Amino acid sequence: MFLNHQIDLVFVQGDTMSAFCGALSAYYFKIPICHIEAGLRSYHLFDSFPEEALRQMIARIANIHFAPTKLSVEYLQNENLTYKSYIYEVGNTSIDALFSLEQKIINNAKIFWNNFGIDLDNDNIILVTIHRRENHGERLEYILNAISYIASQFSKYKIIIPLHPNPNVKEKIQNRLYKQNNIYLCDALDYPNLVLIMKNSKLILTDSGGIQEEAPSFGVPLLVLRYETERKEGVESGFAKLVGADYELIIKESLFILNNNQKINKINPYGDGKTSKRIEKYVREFLNLKENYAQ
């Protein structure tokens, strides 16, 4: 592609291996790189693994850093990036996606959950997602034991657990939890179905990064099944608490939220649904500068 097409900019988003490879390919061809969701940091290279290393490496070669929050801007500024770069606070595009779902898609998602046996209007719902590498092995056992206990104490709640396809996670969850009547195991969810179940949950337990950003738009309390997070804004604003794989802490915080029917009435720190428009504005400015410089 780089050999056969004239490419003015390359966009990469997030902290996956594919994002890093895309950025590295563009770097080899000296094509400017725009990194969306830039500046997220835990500063622990093995938590999250390997994402923390990948996003830091992308930062060293990117030209335009679209950071979701003020804190992510500060991280990038403090890293003294020497490559020619621009840093902008724009919010996160995941919040744009939340606001762009059409009513027809939402209605279809509601039908999906009705067919699955979930009444979104009347059921008390807990959503659980687990997949990160650092939670494989012994940590996963502690987490599943805590979930099993919560399910036994709150029998009127329906606990939804989408199963990650990784057998290190999927098989352990199935073997440990399938017998409990109020635990509903399902395949990985399409985006609209996930959004709708998030919106209607009383509590979310997750080690996902994206859910940490999206759930605050619905005021849903989060317990983050990690010891470190690159999304510290949710913790600082009161939407999320880090509980790691600590059996007793997971139970303690879950019981507090459920017993108090806690809902959080604050503004989502990760975006307002206008991130894409800000990115477009800054990209146009960059291309104009590039064009004027070439002349």
Using an 8 Å Cβ cutoff, are 96 and 271 in contact? yes
Residue positions annotated with a catalytic role: 15, 37, 51, 131, 133, 164
- Chain-centre distance of CA 244, in angstroms? 16
Q: How large is the greatest C-alpha to C-alpha distance in the chain, in angstroms?
A: 70
Indicate the length of the chain as a whole number.
295
Q: In the beta sheet, which residues pair with residue 89?
A: 67
**Separation CA 276–CA 139 (nearest Å):** 37
CB atoms within 10 A of CB 189: 20
Using an 8 Å Cβ cutoff, are 180 and 147 in contact? no
Tokens representing 245? 């794989």
Give the closest residue to 68 by CA, choosing from 97, 36, 100. Answer: 36
Question: 23 burial class (0-12, 13-18, 19+ CB within 10 angstroms)?
Answer: buried
Question: 132 burial class (0-12, 13-18, 19+ CB within 10 angstroms)?
Answer: buried
**Separation CA 134–CA 137 (nearest Å):** 8
Q: In the beta sheet, which residues pair with residue 241?
A: 223
